Structure 1
Amino acid sequence: MPCAPPSSPSRIHATIAVEEGRRKHMLRVLTLLLASGCGTWSSQSRVYTVINRYMSWSAAREYCKNNYKDLAVIHNHDDMMEMTKATLNFPLSLFWIGLRRVDQIVHPWMWSEGLSQTSDESAEYTNWINTPNYLQNCGSFLIDGKWMGEGCEHRLPFICKHSAAPSGIQIIPVTLTWREAQVYCRLHSIDLITVMSETENQALEEAIHQMMPTIVSPYWIGLFRDDWKWTDQTANSFRDWAISEPDKVDRCAIITNTIVKMAANSCEAAHYFICYNEIEEKREQIVKVEIASNSDLEFSDAVLSEAILTQIQNKFEGVNIQWRIHPDGKIFHKKENKKIKEEC
């Protein structure tokens, strides 16, 4: 929306109903438009069900696909905690989940935190000094801003994403393996640092020079690749392996509700398992929009109101936006100078 002109424009206000979609991005842009707003929203959620029958991984998956959506997929720590609640009545048990090792030539680079720039969750922005080989499956950050592939078992200092730090990052000079660094960051801050653009890359390079000017070692960042894939066929990067897991032989993943960690296991072993369904909850968020105009435009004109809505709609992919019609049949009302009481 253009900014209001310097003269005294008339102000027209209306409300729009926004269907839940890419909410975080949507709200950031809508803050440029809103005078006020109220409402509620929710996103797609997963419901987990424990099946206390001993089955192999393949048999468990067939059962889940026939009776639910699939074996449990876990996209973030919230999912992990929600799924763990379902296992509390089965102490000291192991459970199949929908994660398995796959045979493919090229594995995508992903971020430990689970953030992505593409629909398949893989990293789009990279800044390699050279192409990593098949043994180099974890990413490190050099002091000149270039990235280098490393064997994940190497021990390096590392960088955590930390919400309490002024720069948002925390540099840990202790040398750990990539997996140990990931565990440390998740326990003490958020996760290993994610770098998703040239701007973020430059900012991280400058921060390293300011905070650790004498250390020339590469630093672990949250970039990795592996040969495990979730059954929903996304390259979702959430992993929460126990220490020393996964091994190099077993091809199917379990969790235990004692330590709430993932481990690899023989796919032919018999365990309880966890199925999931997805519940899509769509609610409306009601927001008020003010439009400033110096002209005598007739805002009740259907063509004009549709053109304005189209401009707003074009900002959001996958979100349904529509005007709310007031009881008097109008969309727009001229705003009075007196303060208008906002009501949800």
Structure 2
Amino acid sequence: MTDVVDGNFDGSAWIGLHGDSKSWRWSLEHSDLYGKGASVFRGWWDQPDNTEGRELCVYISMGKWNDFRCDYSLMAVCYDERGNNTEKYVLLKTYMTWTEAREYCREHHTDLASVKNDTENHIISRIVGDDAAWIGLHRTAWSDMSRSPFTFWAEIIDDSRTYRQQNCVVVWYRSSGGWTWETCDRALPFICYSGTSPRMYHLEGDRKSWLDAQKHCREKYTDLATVDNTEDMDRLMHMTSGSYDGFAWIGMYDDLFRSWRWSLEDEVIQGAGEYRNWDSAQDNTGQGEHCVATVYGAWLAFSCKTLIRFICYDDKNGTQSYVLSDQTATWSDAQSYCRQHHTDLASVRSSTDNQMIAHRAGSEIVWIGLYRGRAWSDQSNSSFRHWKSGQPDYAGGNQNCVAASLADSGKWTDHNCLDVLPFFCYSELRGDIAAMKEYHPRRQILL
């Protein structure tokens, strides 16, 4: 990506990365454009730091990516897949906000540039030089809606600036293409683009924090352990062979960007936009407040254990409707009830949906399907859970990582991510199935 500029520009340019309430993703969400692992490429430069929680878009500069406020004006890099265009990446030297850059790229090219690997990042870096330009990555998405986790944040940012509204990302070519956050309304140049197994688990006995364990696993294996089903969990437990009975990290953690998602994980629902209607006094930072209720149409975060009524969504008979429960329940129990008797807890895609639910609920405080979920280190979508009774309890509001208790059939508990524990890594299974039994315990480690 940096090759395209070839020294002609050394500032910042928009790329397709920006921040929203979920994870980073590409503006151009076209699965045919991304090979295995391509959509998760990141080129961060000591980023993202999401300064003051508002750096939701990405620019590239000197080949490194930075999270930045989406309302700042930068150049941008468009991607162009049209057959009559000889240049795949096009640097726009007109300064635009991230949103304006995305609209321009989509109108005149294909979309803001997605970056699938180091080669493409280098090409765009040469185009932009040491300036900054928007690319298509944003939180949680790239402008083209791809799911690339690749980041390239810049290591150096101007701490004297206020980043509260930085929700879009530029590449800063003066800083090797590193990414930084920028306000989406800022006028900047930008880059567009165009374009045509079972797991093997490894118990590592050296005690590390969750982040250090993640780094170790990614360097030596594939990642911290992801568990898709009971068979995976049984295999993970079998690998210890009774050699250790304490806690060990696995790859589940609370989303570091406090992302909210809907209980009904349907592409039609999830792709309908990021409609939110938080109460004006809601800051979404309360300890243990991971589930959402609505009253008079305004949304508030509550402890998921709160007993209140709830709204189900039902499309089982070909018609879509909202059903108000006549009982109270915790959020999890409400979810189970709605899935058993209807479709799921209510998702709210627009102000029209919100008004319908508000009318149905009246003055009641009721659960809807929005919650702050947990994610896997390897960005997989496994929904399997193996919690110990009473877990997760979010004690102290800072237990955001998950460990398996080997003294309790591998049941999961939430822990402070800075706790030092042994940990499980995994690698993709290759060859003889007997290899699944390979593990690396460190017997001298005791908790």
What TM-score does the superposition give when structure 2 sets the normalisation length?
A: 0.38
Higher-RCO chain (CA-CA 8 Å, sequence separation at least 6): 1
Point out the structure with max Rg over C-alpha.
Answer: 1
